[in-house]
């Protein structure tokens, strides 16, 4: 959760987590698919992407909603990466597709478990 706290914190603010105009990641509980759309759109704002994403309707699981956003984001030249913290929550962040190999290499060096959408899809199916 430390990475989540750092990523969602405003640099000029105090150490408490408060809403701001930007975010670096999506962080949701395992059952909070309704929390993804507003966080995704705040992330898009941070990235300077004017388009807004709308979560598909229906009874989506969190992985389904994140995979939907990842597919949409891919059309914008970004990759959604998923950080496995070992908890029952989900953390995802976007990077430029051109930076994917370097990001995965750095994550491996740091000992972080980071998955692309394809890897995330496979691992969530394995847990089901």
Kindly report, residue by residue over 8-32, the tens digit of the pLDDT.
545 555 445 455 566 789 999 999 9
Residue 109 clears pLDDT 60, i.e. is over it: yes
Q: Is the pTM of this model over 0.85?
A: no
Q: Which long-range contacts (CB under 8 A, 24 or more apart) does 27-34 make?
A: 27/89, 27/90, 27/91, 28/62, 28/89, 28/90, 29/62, 29/88, 29/89, 29/90, 30/62, 30/88, 30/89, 30/90, 31/62, 32/62, 33/60, 33/61, 33/62, 33/64, 33/65
**pLDDT digits 0-9 by tens, 64-91:** 999 999 999 999 999 999 999 989 999 9
26: β partners: 92
Residue 98 clears pLDDT 90, i.e. is over it: yes
């Amino acid at each position: 959760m430390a990475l989540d706290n750092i990523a969602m914190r405003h640099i000029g603010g105090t150490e408490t987590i408060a809403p701001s105009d930007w975010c670096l990641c999506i962080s949701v509980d395992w059952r909070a698919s309704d929390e993804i759309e507003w966080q995704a759109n705040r992330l898009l704002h941070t990235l300077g992407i004017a388009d807004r994403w709308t979560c598909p309707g229906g009874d989506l699981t969190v992985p389904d909603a994140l995979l939907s956003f990842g597919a949409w984001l891919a059309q914008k030249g970004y990759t959604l990466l998923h950080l496995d913290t070992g908890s029952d929550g989900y953390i995802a962040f976007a990077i430029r597709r051109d930076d994917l190999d370097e990001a995965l290499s750095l994550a491996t060096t740091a000992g972080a478990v980071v998955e692309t959408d394809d890897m995330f899809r496979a691992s969530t199916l394995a847990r089901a």
